[in-house]
Amino acid sequence: MNQSIPVMNSKTLAMKVRNIYLSILLLISFVAYGQQQETGTVKLRGTKLTYPLIRKWIAEFSKEYPGIKVSIAQGAPADSIDFRIASYVLTEKDLGKDQHGVEVSRYVQLPVANIARPDLAELQVKGFTDKNLSDLFFNAKTPEFMESSSSPIPVTLYVRDRPVCAVKAFAHHFGNDPEALKGTGIKGDDDDLAGAVRNDINGLSFNNLGFIYDVKTRKITEGLAVIPLDLNENGKVDGDEAIYATLDDVLNFIERTNHPKFVNEPVNFIFNKGSSNVNAGIFLDWVLSKGQEYQHDLGFVSVKQQVLSSERAVANASFKTSAPSCESADDLVRKRKLKHSNK
């Protein structure tokens, strides 16, 4: 039996095409609305060594939330800032009674020397112990093994000219006062500090990974050399301690071992408890989740997942960016401190 096939007239066909076209437009509009429904501004300022990572976060966040304009506002008034960046272990005196601080990243500092330093080979064989570094940078006392040579090489220490966050972190690691740090003060930032060492054959300093290594090639920056850490303090750098060939070697070793001899400090976002800027909360939640994948790219250490979960809870309770919780941000912070004190 022959079956007739219905034939659409031109009017019916046009209506179907129109409906499909409208459906596509509606879908596109819905997606665009989902991306752009949030609008506003978020401002940050603080530790400059974090700015390469912050800029990366801003660039990637803006792809998802083009309506929220996040910026580093170094010269903006303090009362207009949503997040102050502090890169050292926070204490009660670092936070006002109406402030919280959450850890968003970690960074590592290593001793560095000029690549042409005459005794570099010996330094890299023996390495620095904690005592060597403490004596050198806080007591102006050159380690004995550096003076035992028949013709000891002079040491010119270079440090930042102010007790900035990296200086506080370095001093904290060795149980010293940042004001006691010895050396020639360099104005500018950590890149300028690295430059001072590159330009002086006798130069010695400490710096964070993002300025010691080229984040593109993952190799040590031209003109600099890492002085290894003698982790077991046996007077030499053993094979399993020689982990400085690439940036990724260092990051992987530190995250795998969590070795306490490394100056490995947190990067914190400090914010007001009563902030009404929901956009700041959206950005902070993004940093603590999607933003973490960019840590290694810029030479920063990943935050442990357990810590991230705790910090996200505090952030979301503070900015009310997720479903309501039975616990306030203050309660969560108290729990976090208690848990940390019991470790």
* Residue-wise pLDDT tens digits, 232-243: 999 999 999 999
pLDDT given at position 34: 44
pTM of the full predicted structure?
A: 0.82
Other beta carbons within 10 Å of 76: 13
- Residue 152 binned pLDDT confidence (cut-offs 50, 70, 90): confident
d(CA 341, CA 343): 6
Q: Which domains does the chain have, with CATH numbers?
A: 38-106+265-341 (3.40.190.10), 107-263 (3.40.190.10)
Q: Does 141 have pLDDT greater than 60?
A: yes
Instruction: Please check whether residue 324 is in contact with residue 281, taking contact to mean a CB–CB distance below 8 angstroms.
Output: no
**Per-residue b or e along 296-323, where b marks 16 or more CB atoms closer than 10 Å to that residue's CB:** bebbbbbbeeebbebbbbbbbbbbebee
Q: Please tell me the least confidently modeled range out of 216-230, 295-309, 329-343.
A: 329-343
- Residue 332 binned pLDDT confidence (cut-offs 50, 70, 90): very low
Percent of the chain with pLDDT over 90: 71
Q: Does 12 have pLDDT greater than 90?
A: no
Instruction: Reduce the DSSP state of residue 104 to 3 states and report it.
Output: strand
* Mean of the per-residue pLDDT values of the chain: 87
Higher pLDDT, 43 or 10: 43
Q: What is the per-residue pLDDT across 263-315, written as a single tens digit (0 to 9) for each?
A: 999 999 999 988 889 999 999 999 999 999 999 999 999 999 999 999 999 99
Higher pLDDT, 175 or 35: 175
Q: Does 63 have pLDDT greater than 90?
A: yes
Higher pLDDT, 75 or 256: 256
Q: Does 70 have pLDDT greater than 60?
A: yes
pLDDT given at position 24: 52
Burial (Cβ within 10 Å: 0-12, 13-18, ≥19) of residue 114: buried
pLDDT given at position 75: 87
Average pLDDT over residues 188-192: 95
- Residue 39 binned pLDDT confidence (cut-offs 50, 70, 90): confident
Its sign, for the CA torsion 118, 119, 120, 125, is positive
**Per-residue b or e along 326-341, where b marks 16 or more CB atoms closer than 10 Å to that residue's CB:** eeebeebbeebeeeee
Using alpha carbons, list the distances in angstroms from residue 175 to 170, 171, 224, 276.
Answer: 9, 6, 27, 38
pLDDT given at position 60: 98
Other beta carbons within 10 Å of 229: 23
- Residue 151 binned pLDDT confidence (cut-offs 50, 70, 90): confident
- Residue 55 binned pLDDT confidence (cut-offs 50, 70, 90): very high
Q: What is the per-residue pLDDT across 194-215, written as a single tens digit (0 to 9) for each?
A: 999 999 999 999 999 999 999 9
Q: Does 149 have pLDDT greater than 70?
A: no
Average pLDDT over residues 134-149: 88
Q: Does 342 have pLDDT greater than 60?
A: no
Q: Does 65 have pLDDT greater than 80?
A: yes
- Residue 140 binned pLDDT confidence (cut-offs 50, 70, 90): confident
Q: Please tell me the least confidently modeled range out of 19-28, 146-155, 236-245, 311-320.
A: 19-28
